[in-house]
């Protein structure tokens, strides 16, 4: 389900590399730590908001694609997104934009893929790599 819904979807067992999952979860943790001071700046966008929105879109795509490809992760990607939203954008326009990014990523692949294909597997790998790059870039630029 897209972010904002509390219902769990159906998932099929199939695993992907634990390293990829661990790497993206580490990314989420790093971003959570980096974004805590930005909470007070609700009116002024943070300089990394575009990257944060892209990461949200990637998380949405992964939430859908990993389920279609049977990763058996349940709500893991959605929960990571929820933690990111709670830490970075608890209300207002920033929250709306981040959630919209997640939903855009989820729905974009929902319209295209009904089953796991080699192209879906490739998209998963590319999104894991891109998410890791975004996290590294944000960390290098904005870490205190």
Instruction: Give the model's confidence band at 113: pLDDT under 50 very low, under 70 low, under 90 confident, else very high.
Output: very high
Closest CA to 49 of 140, 133, 138: 138
Residue 14: pLDDT over 60: no
Instruction: Give the model's confidence band at 18: pLDDT under 50 very low, under 70 low, under 90 confident, else very high.
Output: low
Instruction: Give the model's confidence band at 13: pLDDT under 50 very low, under 70 low, under 90 confident, else very high.
Output: very low
Instruction: Give the model's confidence band at 31: pLDDT under 50 very low, under 70 low, under 90 confident, else very high.
Output: low
**Every domain of the chain and the residues it spans:** 23-37+46-142
Q: How far apart are CA 79 and CA 22, in angstroms?
A: 14
Q: How far apart are CA 116 and CA 90, in angstroms?
A: 34
Tell if the pTM clears 0.75, that is, is over it: no
How many other CB atoms sit within 10 Å of the CB of residue 41? 10
Residue 132: pLDDT over 70: yes
The pLDDT assigned to 8 comes to 42
Quick check: 52 and 109 in contact, CB under 8 A?
no
Q: How far apart are CA 6 and CA 1, in angstroms?
A: 8
Mean pLDDT of the chain: 78
The pLDDT assigned to 135 comes to 81
Task: Please write the tens of the pLDDT for every residue from 38-58.
Answer: 454 455 777 888 999 999 999
* Alpha-carbon distances of 85 from 48, 65, 113, rounded to whole Å: 14, 21, 26
The mean pLDDT of 130-138, rounded to a whole number, is 89
């Amino acid at each position: 389900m897209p972010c904002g819904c509390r219902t769990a979807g159906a998932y099929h067992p199939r695993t992907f590399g634990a390293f990829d999952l661990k790497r993206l979860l580490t990314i989420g943790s790093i971003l959570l730590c980096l974004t805590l001071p930005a909470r007070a700046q609700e009116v002024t966008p943070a300089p990394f908001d575009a990257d944060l929105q892209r990461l949200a879109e990637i998380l949405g795509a992964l939430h859908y694609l990993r389920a279609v490809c049977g990763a058996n992760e349940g709500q893991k990607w959605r929960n990571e997104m929820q933690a990111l939203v709670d830490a970075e954008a608890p209300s207002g326009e920033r929250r709306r934009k981040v959630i919209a990014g997640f939903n855009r990523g989820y729905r974009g692949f929902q319209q295209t893929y009904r089953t796991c294909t080699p192209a879906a597997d490739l998209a998963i790998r590319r999104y894991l790599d891109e998410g890791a790059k975004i996290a590294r870039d944000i960390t290098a630029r904005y870490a205190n």
